Amino acid sequence: MPILVVEDNDEDFDMLQLAFRGASIPNPLFRCADGEETLEFLGHQGRYQEEEQAPRPGLVLLDLNLPGMDGRQVLERLKADASLRSIPVIVFSTSDNPRDVQSCYQLGVSAYLLKPVDLDRFERMVRLLKEFWLDFVVLPALPVAPLRERRWQ
């Protein structure tokens, strides 16, 4: 199951890659550095028209503070798209602002994690993320079709 990391900071992405290797996470990581690139990746547009370049991720790790279109806007677009809304999105941010947390949950984020500043805590969080999201949670392999409205009589 591919994992899409939406992160503009090279150092944060490098630390995430190290932590994934340290936690023996075999899932392929794909990176987008901004919101526009993320939407191209998920929509198979621009340079991401080939499926091999942009496989459907089983999980998205999303930074909030991105250049251009920010993480909230990306999250809103993902959750508004019927073909993408079933993909779990975990916000991975340095912001502990209650308004950021609240708005992300209102938009449908699956989890909101604060980026640790030290490597030990960062690695521990990645191990816990692996145990929960990759070892225990059952994720849909294909897009989940939206439920049709039903009229109860």
Cite the DSSP H helix spans in the chain: 10-22, 35-43, 71-80, 98-107, 119-129
Tens-digit pLDDT profile for the chain (153 aa)? 999 999 999 999 999 999 999 999 999 999 999 999 999 999 999 999 988 889 999 999 999 999 999 999 999 999 999 889 999 999 999 999 999 999 999 999 999 999 988 888 989 999 999 999 988 988 776 665 444 443 434
Query: What is the rounded distance in angstroms from the CA atom of residue 101 to the CA atom of residue 140?
Result: 25
**To which residue do tokens 């503009």 refer?**
8
Q: Which domains does the chain have, with CATH numbers?
A: 3-135 (3.40.50.2300)
Task: Quote the pLDDT of residue 148.
Answer: 44
Distances (CA, A) of 37 to 9, 16, 81, 90, 144: 14, 19, 16, 18, 23
